[in-house]
Amino acid sequence: MKNELLAKRLKELRKANNYTQEYVASYLNIGRQAYSHYETGRNTPSSDTLYNISALYSIPYHSLIELMMTNDHPFSYQTSPAYTPVVNDVSEFLEYINDPKNEKKLKLLSVKEKELLYYFDKLTVKDQEDILDFIKIKVKKK
């Protein structure tokens, strides 16, 4: 079975959101059977389809890509609750973290670090300096 970790995660996400295969397939504009093959690992979704799936479940696109890559590496997969950033417009956050011009600076960051950077980039230079001063004070207290 190809991409069994991705297949397992797609099924978990669908069930956790109480969606049917028909609903997800309709959202993706594909047939139910085609979507079913993604959940069984028989077929692998295209990158566009993975992006749409990430938008449907409000999860980072790269988290699905990593599951596909994990099959080729000796890492173990552990099911954990999905981290949902506290962002008013989740689609804006997803666009930010999936934007190719942000790829290098976000590549090795955790989701929380990405969220912090997302908000930090929205601040004025003065506010950024204030935040940095605050962080330095907090670190010195420890």
Structure tokens at 111: 């989701």
Q: Whole-prediction pTM value?
A: 0.49
Domain carrying residue 39: 1-82
Do 60 and 98 fall within a single domain? no
What pLDDT, on the 0 to 100 scale, is given for residue 123?
A: 86
For residue 4, give every residue at least 6 positions away whose Cβ sits within 8 Å of its Cβ, in sequence order, or none.
Answer: 41, 71
For residue 118, give every residue at least 6 positions away whose Cβ sits within 8 Å of its Cβ, in sequence order, or none.
Answer: 85, 87, 93, 96, 97
What pLDDT, on the 0 to 100 scale, is given for residue 2?
A: 59
Spell out the per-residue pLDDT of the chain, length 142, in tens.
457 888 988 998 898 888 999 999 999 999 999 999 999 989 989 888 988 998 888 888 888 877 776 544 444 444 444 444 444 455 666 677 777 777 766 677 777 777 788 788 888 989 888 888 888 888 787 6
What pLDDT, on the 0 to 100 scale, is given for residue 79?
A: 44
Do 71 and 113 fall within a single domain? no
Amino acid found at 16:
A
Do 78 and 130 fall within a single domain? no
**Residue that finishes a domain, picked among 82, 110, 134:** 82
**Residue that finishes a domain, picked among 82, 102, 117:** 82
Do 95 and 133 fall within a single domain? yes
**Residue that finishes a domain, picked among 32, 52, 82:** 82
Which letter does DSSP use for residue 81 in this model? Answer: P
CB atoms within 10 A of CB 80: 6
